[in-house]
Amino acid sequence: MEPQHYIRLSALNDMIHDTINSRFEGQRFWVLADITNHSFKADKKIHYFELVEKAQKGSAITAKILGKSWGIGAVRIEEFEKKTGQLFTNNLHVLVQVSVDYHPLYGLSASVLDVDSNFMLGILEQQRNATLERLVRENDFIEKAVDGYSTLNSRLKLPAVIQRMAVISSSSSAGNEDFRHTMQHNDFGYVFQIDDYYTVVQGDNNAKLFLNKLIEIYNTGIPYDAVVINRGGGSQSDFLIFDNYNIGRAVAKFPIAVITGIGHQKNVSITDLMAHTHTKTPTKAAEFIIAHNRSFEIQILSIQQNIVIKSQQLFHGRYRELNEINNAVSRNVRQLVQLHGEELTRTNQRIISSSRAVLYEHQKILILSAHQMVQSPKILLQQKKNDLVQIRNSIKNSSDAYLRREKLMLEHHQKSILMMSPQNILRKGYAIVKVNEKIVSSGENIEAGQEIEVILRDTKLINTVKEKIQYDGRETDL
């Protein structure tokens, strides 16, 4: 048998190399493909991967070629990651510019020269919009609103003062340290209790760990005023966890108000949209809480100032009323004294006149009796003298009794006025109840939850009605 003609493998590869290079040399192609089997040699800045095409229905691979990128291509990939926030890694559907290469040793491959960032941003936005549509469609506690989204969490009312809060963050987060520093060194001296719940707050594959922390906070049963989600800066891909459907749903339904300080300046995550309040950074979240408490303090100070002003106005008003009453009493007393003084004067004059007449009549009788009773003058004189003493005492007793009665009457009027004064009534343990600055004596227009003002002898109380119970006034604990 004659030996067959043959060539070396390297010669065959050289022929393939020459053929491919002559066909594709200088040509560039924009290709849609998925990234698989990616690896990156950081020291050499070279990416190795496979470009694959999958069937439209199913996951069967219909085309595949080895890929690599270095030099200007690696720079373009780095720019792509910065612009989109998405790492160039497995399972990405990308639009890349490639050139076709054949190497006698490494075989056929495609060199990636550029990556279309806008194409990837469009995909991420589509995924984000699809997640938002699914949240609204599948959950009746999430509604699309004109200015964003209305959720069960966003509709919660924040406590008037936020003091105790649960914070979800990374244990090594510099942003969380900034949050704590801002809270602990606030300008108003507010004191906060912060409970940390550390977990991984980046990477979509860590969503389950994040959800477990929310569940842990709920299961503690601690009545937190708010839950704060903190995260410092990072790449866009680090924030993809906050666009996760399950996390967005859990935050939207969480029964405690959620405040986010995720630290992403450019975009608003789905978690931000589902939360009660979202801020740009952990520091901004702390400033929001401090400002919220400051607003309450300002309201209290304003109420305090209004109470002082109203108290002064009420005091001056009542003081004027008391002065008017006092002046009226003084005038009435003077008039009564003057009236009764004139009457006493007239009475005294009548008594004097009557006394003179009586004395005159008795004098005539005495003279007559003296003539008639010459034999017993001393006895007769003594009897008449006794009669005069009795008459004088009778006159004096009548005058003194009248003056005592009038004095007692004046004292009675004065005591009645003192007993009816507001200060005396308050000292006896009674209170004045005011609603909307008006004194009320019936609970007809007072409802549970309404604020009332209770005025005691030395204190004014601002209360909120916890419960309203009707009763007919016949049964009392007084």
143 and 274, same structural domain? yes
Q: Looking at this protein, which amino acid is placed at residue 229?
A: I
Range of the domain at 435: 427-464
At residue 432, the pLDDT reads: 85
Do 248 and 352 belong together in one domain?
no
Residues 410 and 322 in one domain: yes
* 362/449 same-domain check: no
Of 67, 99, 115, the residue that ends a domain is 115
CATH assignment at residue 158: 3.40.50
Q: Is residue 323 part of a domain?
A: yes
Q: Kindly give the parts of the chain with pLDDT less than 70.
A: 1-4, 58, 85, 202-205, 232-239, 263-267, 370, 372-377, 380, 472-478
Question: What is the model's pLDDT at position 232?
Answer: 64
pLDDT tens, 286-336? 999 999 999 999 999 999 999 988 888 888 888 888 888 888 888 888 888
The span from the CA of 442 to the CA of 338, in Å, is 44
Q: How many H helices and E strands in the chain?
A: 10, 16
Torsion of CA 186, 192, 195, 201, to 10 degrees: -30
Q: pTM above 0.85?
A: no
Per-residue model confidence (pLDDT) at position 68: 93
The DSSP bridge pattern shows strands 148-151 and 226-230 to be unpaired
* Residue 265: predicted pLDDT: 52
In terms of domains, do 31 and 73 share one? Answer: yes
Same domain, 411 and 353: yes
135: number of Cβ within 10 Å? 21
- Looking at residue 455, what is its pLDDT? 86
Question: Is 319 found in the same domain as 264?
Answer: no
Query: How high is the pLDDT of residue 143?
Result: 92
146 φ, ψ (degrees, to nearest 5): -60, -40
227 and 353 both lie in a single domain:
no
Q: What is the DSSP letter of 2?
A: P
Strand order in the sheet with 438-440: 438-440, 432-435, 451-455, 460-464
Q: Are residue 231 and residue 167 in the same domain, yes or no? A: yes
Residue 3: predicted pLDDT:
57
Q: How many domains does the chain have?
A: 4
